[in-house]
Amino acid sequence: MTIEIASENRAHGGRQLVVSHASESTSTEMRFSIFLPPQAEAGGKLPVVWFLSGLTCSPMNVTEKGEYRAACAELGLIFVAPDTSPRGENVPTDSSGGWDFGLGAGFYVDATEEPFARHYRMWSYVTEELPALVASEFPADMGRQGITGHSMGGHGALTVALRNLGRFRSVSAFAPIVAPSQVAWGTKALGGYLGSDEAAWRPHDAVALIEDGARVSDLLVDVGTDDPFLDSQLRPDLLEQACVDAGIPLTLRRQPGYDHSYYFISTFMAEHLRWHSERLR
Protein backbone atom coordinates (compact mmCIF):
# COMPACT_ATOMS: atom_id res chain seq x y z
CA MET A 1 0.00 0.00 0.00
CA THR A 2 1.36 3.41 -0.98
CA ILE A 3 1.26 6.24 1.52
CA GLU A 4 1.84 9.94 1.01
CA ILE A 5 3.11 12.28 3.71
CA ALA A 6 0.76 15.26 3.42
CA SER A 7 2.57 17.24 6.11
CA GLU A 8 5.44 16.81 8.57
CA ASN A 9 6.40 18.98 11.53
CA ARG A 10 9.00 18.69 14.25
CA ALA A 11 7.49 18.71 17.75
CA HIS A 12 8.85 17.79 21.19
CA GLY A 13 11.84 16.13 19.55
CA GLY A 14 9.58 13.86 17.47
CA ARG A 15 7.75 14.00 14.15
CA GLN A 16 4.11 14.91 13.65
CA LEU A 17 2.85 13.53 10.35
CA VAL A 18 -0.41 13.69 8.44
CA VAL A 19 -0.59 10.73 6.07
CA SER A 20 -2.91 10.00 3.16
CA HIS A 21 -3.53 6.71 1.36
CA ALA A 22 -6.06 4.98 -0.86
CA SER A 23 -8.33 2.87 1.33
CA GLU A 24 -9.70 -0.47 0.21
CA SER A 25 -12.21 -0.43 3.07
CA THR A 26 -13.86 2.88 2.17
CA SER A 27 -12.98 3.07 -1.55
CA THR A 28 -11.78 6.63 -0.92
CA GLU A 29 -8.61 8.46 0.00
CA MET A 30 -8.22 8.52 3.77
CA ARG A 31 -6.03 10.65 6.02
CA PHE A 32 -4.73 10.00 9.48
CA SER A 33 -2.45 11.77 11.93
CA ILE A 34 0.52 10.02 13.56
CA PHE A 35 3.03 11.33 16.08
CA LEU A 36 6.37 9.52 16.28
CA PRO A 37 8.13 10.40 19.55
CA PRO A 38 11.90 10.99 19.62
CA GLN A 39 12.49 7.41 20.82
CA ALA A 40 11.45 6.22 17.35
CA GLU A 41 14.73 7.53 15.94
CA ALA A 42 16.71 5.15 18.15
CA GLY A 43 15.30 2.09 16.41
CA GLY A 44 13.07 -0.61 17.81
CA LYS A 45 9.31 -0.68 18.10
CA LEU A 46 7.20 1.47 20.39
CA PRO A 47 3.74 1.05 21.92
CA VAL A 48 0.89 2.76 20.10
CA VAL A 49 -2.19 4.57 21.39
CA TRP A 50 -5.15 5.03 19.04
CA PHE A 51 -7.40 8.07 19.40
CA LEU A 52 -10.85 7.92 17.79
CA SER A 53 -12.43 11.34 17.28
CA GLY A 54 -16.00 12.51 17.73
CA LEU A 55 -18.85 13.82 15.61
CA THR A 56 -17.93 16.45 12.97
CA CYS A 57 -14.20 16.00 13.65
CA SER A 58 -11.29 15.10 11.40
CA PRO A 59 -7.83 13.96 12.56
CA MET A 60 -6.81 17.60 12.70
CA ASN A 61 -8.98 18.45 15.72
CA VAL A 62 -6.97 16.34 18.14
CA THR A 63 -3.74 17.01 16.25
CA GLU A 64 -4.11 20.76 16.73
CA LYS A 65 -5.94 20.87 20.08
CA GLY A 66 -5.30 17.59 21.90
CA GLU A 67 -1.99 18.55 23.57
CA TYR A 68 -0.71 14.97 23.56
CA ARG A 69 2.79 15.35 22.08
CA ALA A 70 4.70 16.33 25.23
CA ALA A 71 3.37 13.31 27.12
CA CYS A 72 3.94 10.97 24.18
CA ALA A 73 7.53 12.21 23.84
CA GLU A 74 8.12 11.67 27.56
CA LEU A 75 6.54 8.21 27.61
CA GLY A 76 7.70 6.95 24.22
CA LEU A 77 4.21 6.46 22.75
CA ILE A 78 3.17 6.53 19.11
CA PHE A 79 -0.17 8.35 18.79
CA VAL A 80 -2.47 7.63 15.84
CA ALA A 81 -5.70 9.50 15.04
CA PRO A 82 -7.83 8.23 12.13
CA ASP A 83 -10.56 10.21 10.39
CA THR A 84 -14.20 9.83 11.47
CA SER A 85 -15.70 8.95 8.07
CA PRO A 86 -14.88 8.54 4.40
CA ARG A 87 -14.82 11.79 2.44
CA GLY A 88 -15.04 12.88 -1.18
CA GLU A 89 -17.39 14.22 -3.81
CA ASN A 90 -19.16 10.90 -4.33
CA VAL A 91 -19.50 9.97 -0.66
CA PRO A 92 -23.15 10.25 0.48
CA THR A 93 -24.13 12.14 3.60
CA ASP A 94 -27.28 13.07 5.51
CA SER A 95 -29.79 14.27 2.93
CA SER A 96 -31.38 16.54 5.52
CA GLY A 97 -28.08 18.33 6.15
CA GLY A 98 -27.70 17.09 9.73
CA TRP A 99 -24.28 17.19 11.37
CA ASP A 100 -24.67 14.00 13.42
CA PHE A 101 -24.86 11.54 10.52
CA GLY A 102 -22.89 11.03 7.30
CA LEU A 103 -19.70 12.98 6.64
CA GLY A 104 -17.66 13.33 9.82
CA ALA A 105 -19.99 10.93 11.61
CA GLY A 106 -19.21 7.37 10.51
CA PHE A 107 -19.84 6.00 14.03
CA TYR A 108 -17.15 3.32 13.58
CA VAL A 109 -19.47 0.75 11.96
CA ASP A 110 -19.56 -1.04 8.61
CA ALA A 111 -22.77 0.21 7.02
CA THR A 112 -25.14 -2.31 5.49
CA GLU A 113 -27.80 0.16 4.32
CA GLU A 114 -27.79 2.02 1.02
CA PRO A 115 -26.45 4.43 -0.07
CA PHE A 116 -23.84 4.12 2.69
CA ALA A 117 -22.73 0.49 2.41
CA ARG A 118 -19.98 1.02 -0.18
CA HIS A 119 -18.00 3.77 1.55
CA TYR A 120 -18.98 3.80 5.24
CA ARG A 121 -16.86 0.87 6.40
CA MET A 122 -15.14 2.56 9.30
CA TRP A 123 -15.14 -0.56 11.51
CA SER A 124 -13.05 -2.46 8.98
CA TYR A 125 -10.88 0.59 8.44
CA VAL A 126 -9.97 1.22 12.09
CA THR A 127 -9.76 -2.42 13.21
CA GLU A 128 -8.10 -4.05 10.18
CA GLU A 129 -6.81 -1.86 7.36
CA LEU A 130 -5.25 1.05 9.22
CA PRO A 131 -3.53 -1.08 11.91
CA ALA A 132 -1.97 -3.22 9.17
CA LEU A 133 -0.78 -0.10 7.38
CA VAL A 134 0.68 1.48 10.52
CA ALA A 135 2.44 -1.78 11.42
CA SER A 136 4.01 -2.00 7.96
CA GLU A 137 5.12 1.62 7.64
CA PHE A 138 6.00 2.76 11.17
CA PRO A 139 7.84 1.32 14.21
CA ALA A 140 4.63 0.36 16.04
CA ASP A 141 4.66 -2.58 18.45
CA MET A 142 1.27 -4.12 17.73
CA GLY A 143 1.64 -6.32 20.80
CA ARG A 144 1.37 -3.17 22.92
CA GLN A 145 -1.70 -1.23 21.85
CA GLY A 146 -4.02 1.07 23.77
CA ILE A 147 -7.14 2.85 22.54
CA THR A 148 -9.04 5.95 23.59
CA GLY A 149 -11.45 8.39 22.03
CA HIS A 150 -13.91 11.24 22.52
CA SER A 151 -17.72 11.18 22.35
CA MET A 152 -18.56 9.16 19.21
CA GLY A 153 -14.90 8.15 19.29
CA GLY A 154 -15.23 7.12 22.92
CA HIS A 155 -18.06 4.85 21.79
CA GLY A 156 -15.72 3.53 19.10
CA ALA A 157 -12.84 2.96 21.52
CA LEU A 158 -15.02 1.04 23.97
CA THR A 159 -16.65 -1.18 21.36
CA VAL A 160 -13.40 -1.86 19.50
CA ALA A 161 -11.70 -2.91 22.74
CA LEU A 162 -14.64 -5.00 23.95
CA ARG A 163 -14.85 -6.87 20.64
CA ASN A 164 -11.11 -7.41 20.19
CA LEU A 165 -10.20 -9.04 23.48
CA GLY A 166 -6.47 -9.41 23.93
CA ARG A 167 -5.53 -6.88 21.26
CA PHE A 168 -5.58 -3.84 23.54
CA ARG A 169 -3.81 -3.73 26.86
CA SER A 170 -5.54 -0.48 27.82
CA VAL A 171 -8.73 1.43 27.02
CA SER A 172 -10.01 4.81 28.13
CA ALA A 173 -12.49 7.39 26.90
CA PHE A 174 -13.42 11.06 27.11
CA ALA A 175 -17.19 11.70 27.33
CA PRO A 176 -18.12 8.50 25.45
CA ILE A 177 -21.54 7.61 24.05
CA VAL A 178 -21.74 4.42 26.09
CA ALA A 179 -25.18 3.11 25.09
CA PRO A 180 -25.96 4.37 21.58
CA SER A 181 -28.99 2.07 21.29
CA GLN A 182 -30.63 4.17 24.02
CA VAL A 183 -29.89 7.74 22.90
CA ALA A 184 -30.82 9.89 19.90
CA TRP A 185 -27.33 10.22 18.35
CA GLY A 186 -26.92 6.48 18.44
CA THR A 187 -30.33 5.39 17.21
CA LYS A 188 -30.05 7.78 14.26
CA ALA A 189 -26.61 6.49 13.31
CA LEU A 190 -27.15 2.79 13.97
CA GLY A 191 -30.54 2.80 12.30
CA GLY A 192 -29.26 4.74 9.30
CA TYR A 193 -26.15 2.62 8.76
CA LEU A 194 -27.31 -0.81 9.96
CA GLY A 195 -31.09 -0.81 9.49
CA SER A 196 -34.04 -1.16 11.83
CA ASP A 197 -33.16 -4.56 13.36
CA GLU A 198 -31.84 -3.58 16.78
CA ALA A 199 -30.14 -6.94 17.18
CA ALA A 200 -27.60 -5.68 14.63
CA TRP A 201 -26.90 -2.69 16.84
CA ARG A 202 -25.75 -4.60 19.95
CA PRO A 203 -22.20 -5.29 18.69
CA HIS A 204 -21.79 -1.50 18.48
CA ASP A 205 -23.13 -0.64 21.94
CA ALA A 206 -20.64 -0.85 24.82
CA VAL A 207 -23.26 -1.38 27.52
CA ALA A 208 -24.96 -4.10 25.46
CA LEU A 209 -21.62 -5.80 24.80
CA ILE A 210 -20.85 -5.90 28.51
CA GLU A 211 -24.35 -7.22 29.24
CA ASP A 212 -23.71 -9.93 26.63
CA GLY A 213 -20.46 -11.02 28.28
CA ALA A 214 -17.65 -8.92 26.77
CA ARG A 215 -14.96 -7.90 29.25
CA VAL A 216 -11.86 -5.72 29.55
CA SER A 217 -9.42 -5.66 32.44
CA ASP A 218 -10.23 -2.10 33.51
CA LEU A 219 -11.47 1.24 32.17
CA LEU A 220 -10.74 4.94 32.66
CA VAL A 221 -13.51 7.36 31.67
CA ASP A 222 -13.65 11.12 32.17
CA VAL A 223 -16.79 13.22 31.74
CA GLY A 224 -17.41 16.90 32.46
CA THR A 225 -20.20 17.87 34.83
CA ASP A 226 -21.05 20.86 32.58
CA ASP A 227 -21.18 18.76 29.40
CA PRO A 228 -24.53 19.66 27.78
CA PHE A 229 -24.83 16.11 26.39
CA LEU A 230 -24.07 14.30 29.65
CA ASP A 231 -27.56 13.15 30.58
CA SER A 232 -29.17 13.06 27.13
CA GLN A 233 -26.54 11.39 24.92
CA LEU A 234 -23.58 10.10 26.98
CA ARG A 235 -25.28 8.37 29.93
CA PRO A 236 -22.17 7.35 31.90
CA ASP A 237 -24.49 6.03 34.62
CA LEU A 238 -25.43 3.15 32.30
CA LEU A 239 -21.78 2.18 31.83
CA GLU A 240 -21.17 2.50 35.56
CA GLN A 241 -23.99 0.07 36.37
CA ALA A 242 -22.98 -2.36 33.61
CA CYS A 243 -19.42 -2.45 34.94
CA VAL A 244 -20.62 -3.01 38.51
CA ASP A 245 -22.81 -5.89 37.36
CA ALA A 246 -19.97 -7.41 35.30
CA GLY A 247 -17.20 -6.86 37.84
CA ILE A 248 -15.18 -4.62 35.50
CA PRO A 249 -13.01 -2.11 37.42
CA LEU A 250 -14.14 1.30 36.14
CA THR A 251 -12.52 4.58 37.11
CA LEU A 252 -15.26 7.09 36.21
CA ARG A 253 -14.22 10.65 36.96
CA ARG A 254 -16.84 13.41 36.85
CA GLN A 255 -14.74 16.53 36.34
CA PRO A 256 -16.40 19.62 37.89
CA GLY A 257 -17.08 22.49 35.50
CA TYR A 258 -15.75 20.85 32.32
CA ASP A 259 -17.76 20.64 29.10
CA HIS A 260 -17.58 18.54 25.90
CA SER A 261 -14.82 20.48 24.17
CA TYR A 262 -11.11 20.02 23.50
CA TYR A 263 -10.43 22.29 26.47
CA PHE A 264 -11.72 19.35 28.52
CA ILE A 265 -9.91 16.69 26.49
CA SER A 266 -6.56 18.49 26.50
CA THR A 267 -6.71 19.04 30.26
CA PHE A 268 -6.79 15.31 31.01
CA MET A 269 -5.00 13.93 27.94
CA ALA A 270 -1.63 13.49 29.67
CA GLU A 271 -3.26 11.60 32.55
CA HIS A 272 -4.91 9.22 30.10
CA LEU A 273 -1.64 8.67 28.27
CA ARG A 274 0.10 7.85 31.55
CA TRP A 275 -2.71 5.38 32.31
CA HIS A 276 -2.05 3.72 28.96
CA SER A 277 1.72 3.81 29.36
CA GLU A 278 1.56 1.97 32.68
CA ARG A 279 -0.33 -0.85 30.99
CA LEU A 280 1.80 -0.88 27.82
CA ARG A 281 5.21 -1.28 29.45
Q: In what order do the strands lie in the sheet with 78-82?
A: 3-11, 14-23, 28-36, 78-82, 46-52, 140-149, 168-174, 219-224, 250-255
The active-site residue out of 150, 155, 260, 272 is: 260
Is 205 an annotated catalytic residue?
no
Which position among 23, 33, 58, 151 bears the catalytic label? 151
Catalytic residue among 150, 227, 276, 277: 227
Distance of CA 233 to the CA centre of its chain: 17
Q: Is 276 a catalytic residue?
A: no
Q: What angle do CA 204, 262, 5 make, to 5 degrees?
A: 80
pTM over 0.75: yes
Q: What is the pLDDT along the chain (281 residues), one digit of tens a residue?
A: 689 999 999 999 999 999 999 999 999 999 999 999 999 999 999 999 999 999 999 999 999 999 999 999 999 999 999 999 999 999 999 988 899 999 999 999 999 999 999 999 999 999 999 999 999 999 999 999 999 999 999 999 999 999 998 999 999 999 999 999 999 999 999 999 999 999 999 999 999 999 999 999 999 999 999 999 999 999 999 999 999 999 999 999 999 999 999 999 999 999 999 999 999 99
pLDDT of residue 214: 98
- Asked if residue 174 lies in contact with residue 222, where contact means CB atoms within 8 angstroms, the answer is yes
- Give yes or no: 245 in active site: no
